[in-house]
Amino acid sequence: MANYGRDPYWLMARFASTCKCGAAIKKGERIFYYPSTKSALCPKCSEAASADFNACTQDEAFYNSGY
C-alpha cells in the first residue's frame, strides 16, 4: 500500500497533552498522530482511529488495483 507524507502514524508522545476526547496524554505513551492537523489521540482513541485508517487504506488499495 502507498504511504503518503501526511498519513497518520504511531509514535511515543514527546510531551504531555490532551486528546480531543478530553483524556490526558502522558509523555512516553504510544499515540496515533495526525501530522496534517498536528493532533494526537490518547491510547484508547488511537486504537479505533488506527483501525479505521487501516481499513480505509486497504479499501483504497483494492479499488485502485483494478478488480
Across residues 42-49, what is the average pLDDT? 95
Is residue 1 in some structural domain? no
Distance CA 8, CA 12 (A): 13
Does 53 reside within a domain?
yes
Residue 40 lies in a domain: yes
Domain of 56? 9-64
Q: 1 pLDDT exceeds 70?
A: no
Q: Let me know if residue 23 belongs to a domain.
A: yes
Domain count, the chain: 1
Residues 13, 19, 22: CA angle, nearest 5 degrees? 140
Can you give the pLDDT at residue 3?
74
Query: Is 3 contained in some domain?
Result: no
Residue 4 lies in a domain: no
pTM of the prediction?
A: 0.82
